[in-house]
Amino acid sequence: EPLRPDELATALVWRIGMLTDTATTHDGYNPPDPVDEPPIDLDDLHALPDGDPHFDDDWLASLTEPDPGETEPEPLTREYLTPARDGAGQRYVTDIEQDPIAAVHAALDAREDERDFARAAEDHFWATATAAVARDRLVELNSLAEDFFTDRYRDSWAPTYLADRLGTDLTGDSRFSVGYAPDRWTALTDYLRRHGATDEEILGAGLGATASTGRVIDRFRDRLVFPIKDTNNDGDPEIHGWIGRRNPAKTDEDNAGPKYLNTSETDLFRKGNALYGLAEATPALAAGAAVVLVEGPMDAIAVTLAGNGDFVGVAPLGTAFTDTQADKLRPHIGSSKPDPIVATDADAAGQTAAYRAFWQLAARTANPQHLVVPDGKDPAEMLQTAGPEALHGALSSPTNLADAVIAARLSEYADRLDTVEGRVFATRRAAEVIAALPEGWIEYIDRLVEQTGIAKPTAMSEVIDAVEAWTADPRGLAKRHIAERPPILPTPAPIPAPIPAPIPADTSAPTAARDLPPTQRWAALADSVHVGLSSDPYWPALARTIDQAAAGGIDVQTLLPGLLADNPLPDTHPARSLDFRLIDAAGDVTRPATRQPEPISREDDESAARTRRAEADRTTADRRRAPTPPTRHPPVEPDRTPPPAASPTPVADPRRGPRR
């Protein structure tokens, strides 16, 4: 029976894959069964007549129609390509007609499933049809490498290093697998060769590299190594690659390579597609743990250790967080799942990564939370210095990452909120963030009205427009926002220092103190009246209000504690609440100066008109009396042309007088 038009592409892909699959030869490898060999007619393509640009229908049918008795390829179904999710991450709407928001989410989920299926089908084809080394053989070689690295771990510097950083060397912890690559050129390569591996296979697995002499040597030498795992079609974890940490006693000057080194990209491993720690954390995530996105493997292990089953850490592998990696998190985030936590470093690069992650996770129906470890530390450093209880407590009380993004966007218009245009632009920028959230829009609109002073109907209109745009293309808008220059997210305040002497409002204050930005000048005072006030996302706006009040002559050192005496600040965004109280208490000093026209009486109006006419008359009279300055002509160049020829002198007519 001829194939339908929609079946031609799948059949061609299967046949081309059969032709281009390079068979490898090593011990224990069975050649393909003859029944799976390509049909004879594909080997006779050279017999086609030369120069004929058209092929008949029989030739096309030979490419697409199976031969009698030929084994049919298994269809690429979702069950075959997608690991079992047990319903995780799927929304089932029972009454879409009565819940338009649920209808939107259902449509988005259906579209995401189609994209996941298409991506899995493509990955399956390229991993199986074009691999120089068979996929099963790559997995086997990485398993052999795990045995080799693990056996050499105990007698290396690696256990002492991990115990110092994490409080444990991870020995006996079934959640983690660690090893050590010896400081020799061909230790692993010789081991794999003894187990039947060829140089082509060692290079194809990313476990070796070619030296300048042409010899195959080990890729990992004198490194603490962690396996990078992923789940197979049965949902079981398997090793796809490795990441190695350089000996901390060595530096870049020792030519020891980068601090962290990944397996080179292979037909099985692509660093932009994998997340360290995700496969190992699948049981904990299924039990309800929250996923925490960090920057490196040490941070991921620290989070999982301190998480105690409530949190698990995952990390990209030396690249920015990619859409493919975000797709791998999708079964573990979203509806009925704990909100993911972004716990990147507190430096500028970490804050930029957090901004990117917000849009990528929000595009997958998540409401990302935010953990910024104070004093510039990362989770591994916090575990090392403060202990697992402190890290677990910080993970249990993160802030909403959307709050930080909104605060950063609003701060760009802080000096224009006294104008209609500034309030509208600020609201529009914040509305784009609100629209990306799965819920809580009304609460955010109320906050936006309080923060910017915009009319609530205007704020609602901007949010509705933003929601419609986001619903139509969440991934496209997320990419557009990521491509923009990221705003500076609020950072936590350092450990509070002793309260300095009050800074006078006049210019007699020390120059160094007056030159500090408001966020630094008033941080100690703010934290003295309410602990952690300067770490609130709305702290920059409050700091500016305090600065304006002090410049207007108000004793803020006395006023701020009084504003909290009878009514303590709320736990949620205390800086925003205190900002409103201070504006109300300080009055016009903290509000933009706007002049309102005073009413003018009829008599005053006529008097002003007479004064203007008299002044105009005086100006006119002065101009008339002023002498006219002589006209200054530019100098005239002398005429250097020769005089004309002499002509007879005319006789003057006496009746007309002398000629002028």
Q: Pick the residue with more confidence: 506 or 622?
A: 622
Secondary structure element (H or E) that encloses residue 62, with its range: helix 57-64
CA atoms within 13 A on the CB side of 382: 29
Largest CA distance in the chain: 141
Q: What's the residue count for the chain?
A: 660
Of the options 3.40.50.1820, 3.50.50.60, 3.30.70.890, 3.90.980.10, the CATH number for the domain spanning 135-262: 3.90.980.10
Output the 3-class SS for 627-639.
CCCCCCCCCCCCC
Would the pTM count as exceeding 0.85?
no
Q: Is the pLDDT of residue 136 over 70?
A: yes
Q: List the chain domain ranges.
A: 5-73, 135-262, 313-492, 511-589
274-290 residues labelled b (16+ CB within 10 A) or e (exposed)? bbbbbbbbbebbeeebb
Tokens 């996770």 sit on residue: 361
- Token couple for 45: 């393509």
- Please answer whether residues 89 and 330 qualify as being in contact, where contact means their C-beta atoms are separated by less than 8 angstroms: yes
Q: Which residues contact 452 (CB under 8 A, 6 or more apart)?
A: 410, 417, 423, 426, 427, 430, 459
Q: How large is the average pLDDT for residues 332-354?
A: 89
Using CA atoms of 16, 17, 20, 25 in order, give the dihedral in degrees to the nearest 10: -150
Ramachandran category for residue 440: left, alpha or beta (phi over 0 → left; psi -120 to 50 → alpha):
left
Given pLDDT bands bounded at 50, 70 and 90, which one contains residue 533?
A: confident
- Please answer whether residues 341 and 290 qualify as being in contact, where contact means their C-beta atoms are separated by less than 8 angstroms: yes
Please give the Cα distance from 293 to 295 (Å, whole number). Answer: 7
Q: What is the pLDDT of residue 346?
A: 78
Give me the phi and psi of 514, to 5 degrees please.
-70, -20
Q: Which residues contact 526 (CB under 8 A, 6 or more apart)?
A: 533, 534, 539, 542, 543, 546, 560, 575
Q: Distance of CA 204 to CAs 16, 141, 200, Å?
A: 21, 10, 6
Q: What is the pLDDT of residue 131?
A: 53
Q: How large is the average pLDDT for residues 445-465?
A: 92
Q: What is the pLDDT of residue 107?
A: 55
Given pLDDT bands bounded at 50, 70 and 90, which one contains residue 583?
A: confident
